[in-house]
Structure 1
């Protein structure tokens, strides 16, 4: 990975998957809202590490290409993502694997990536250490987001956070390549404190740019389904682990217990009201007959 191309390859890998996941999660999210609006029933949004088997094939092939081009230096970093792709492919083909093994495999792959990059810093220059430390931070954020999505598998924001972190890794791989191995210059960026602070600011700007990019893609899907959503009521049913959490129009969040108590209270109230109305109508009828 000690070249511009060596950083370009994994950066492209993470960018392509990040953009794909952005399109998929917004498509599934607004499809859930539209189905809820048309059927008048709450829909479920479910997160997955791989949404199609072709995605798993691409993950396996691209990581193998990375291993071949980088050989031993990239073997430890890439073969775990190949293993993740194989597990996802087995799940798509219906193999009876334990529930959550896809998230476990992806978590271990990201953890191994971060661990190897951490010990990759020995004997490096201060600039090299600085940019790779920021890369390790993005890897840690990716690991945390995957673990959160593993727990909150039925929440849109879980998938959103994982996609943000994946895109951040991709963009920062490109940035590291341009900083350490600039293709249009013979020497890397200077190692002054001011330039390192500027690099840190660039890292934060990329996070903001990623959120803007994803928001733009989300707004495209919203405009596509705006008429249906504006003329119909809708709700998405999010599940925490195995329990249901109902988010009515993404605003009122109640757990199962509160939701059931509210529903039973409404039913009992309606029963009392109907009983009173029935008694009142009986009294009125009796008075009329008298």
Structure 2
């Protein structure tokens, strides 16, 4: 991730994932309200969507792990350099570990929906853990890197973010570098908390769409971090020590959040409109036949 492409890759993954969740859960909600949609609302179709999602998540995670390991300046699966007696490319290993837990979440989703062994809520639990691992635990250590840390402590306004891997990930970095990663953690922690709530409130459309929104926010913000820290050739570099840039980037984060909200709302509106349009075009007799076929299909699924 120590370059523009390294931030664009997870950003693309999260952006695709957020929009996919918006489509899937909007479709779930619309079909639950309109059971006359026949095969579109059958349990078999919904299970296939879950299997597809788990397969894609596992594939994306494997791509991310391989990219972190086998880029030209990557560790090539070497954790310790015995020649220099130092750990080798720990940042790449951190990012690969992040991808590893998302891969575990994808594999768990496949196990839940392909077998009857794993409890259904296990996929949400592993996804929540993956989002938690993505973050970093940072209480007073990150503030100590900022120029106004002493002032913040004296006024009793420490900031606490939740996570694991980025505890030392930002140590010694510039002020704006730390700030853009701190902003990312709000979306990460929010996604983890929302996913953990889904363990106990599965099927809640508000929680599902909120998770989709925060995933989309993570995706666009990863791209923004890439442009700020590693601007492509021909673009002006950011002054990482300018306080005005911190003010602007905070406002920019709010714009990203607003875009994510409108994007998910737009997807929900389009899916709902498509479902209603199909429902209106379906004749009454055909709707009755589809409902009978749906019951037969669900009976086969239960067997």
Cα 1:60–1:223 change in 2 (3 A) is closer
Superposition TM-score, scaled by structure 1 size: 0.70
Instruction: For residues 251-289 of structure 1, give each alpha carbon's deviation from its aligned partner in whole angstroms, at most 9, with x where no partner exists.
Output: xxxxxxxxxxxxxxxxxxxxxxxxxxxxxxxxxxxxxxx
- 1:21 Cα shift? 0.8
How far apart in 2 are the matches of 1:186 and 1:34? 50
Give the paired residue count. 224
| Residue pairs, 1:188-199, within 5 angstroms | 188-190=237-239, 191-199=241-249
- 1:50 Cα shift? 9.4
Indicate conservation of the 8 Å contact 2:22/2:267, yes or no: yes
| 1:207 and 2:257 are equivalent in the alignment | yes
Instruction: For residues 126-173 of structure 1, give each alpha carbon's deviation from its aligned partner in whole angstroms, at most 9, with x where no partner exists.
Output: 010010111111111111111122221131101011111111111110
- The secondary structure found in structure 2 opposite 1:183 is coil
Which moves more between the two structures, 150-159 or 68-77?
68-77
Structure 2 portions without partners, runs of 5+ = 70-92, 136-163, 281-303
How far apart in 2 are the matches of 1:28 and 1:223? 14
Structure 1 portions without partners, runs of 5+ = 231-290
How far apart in 1 are the matches of 2:260 and 2:279? 26
Aligned partner of 1:59 in structure 2 is 57
| 1:110 and 2:159 are equivalent in the alignment | no
Cα 1:20–1:99 change in 2 (3 A) is closer
Cα 1:55–1:99 change in 2 (3 A) is closer
**Over 6 Å off, 4+ runs:** 227-230
- The secondary structure found in structure 2 opposite 1:120 is coil
Indicate conservation of the 8 Å contact 2:176/2:245, yes or no: no
Instruction: For residues 58-83 of structure 1, give each alpha carbon's deviation from its aligned partner in whole angstroms, at most 9, with x where no partner exists.
Output: 11111111111112342211111111
Aligned partner of 1:217 in structure 2 is 267
Cα 1:50–1:167 change in 2 (3 A) is farther
How far apart in 1 are the matches of 2:279 and 2:110? 35
Indicate conservation of the 8 Å contact 1:50/1:88, yes or no: no
Aligned partner of 2:10 in structure 1 is 10
Superposition TM-score, scaled by structure 2 size: 0.68
Instruction: For residues 29-67 of structure 1, give each alpha carbon's deviation from its aligned partner in whole angstroms, at most 9, with x where no partner exists.
Output: 1122222xx59xxx9x9xx99942122111111111111
Give the structure with higher Rg (CA): 1
- The secondary structure found in structure 1 opposite 2:168 is helix
Indicate conservation of the 8 Å contact 2:7/2:225, yes or no: yes
How far apart in 2 are the matches of 1:63 and 1:4? 19
Indicate conservation of the 8 Å contact 2:217/2:256, yes or no: yes
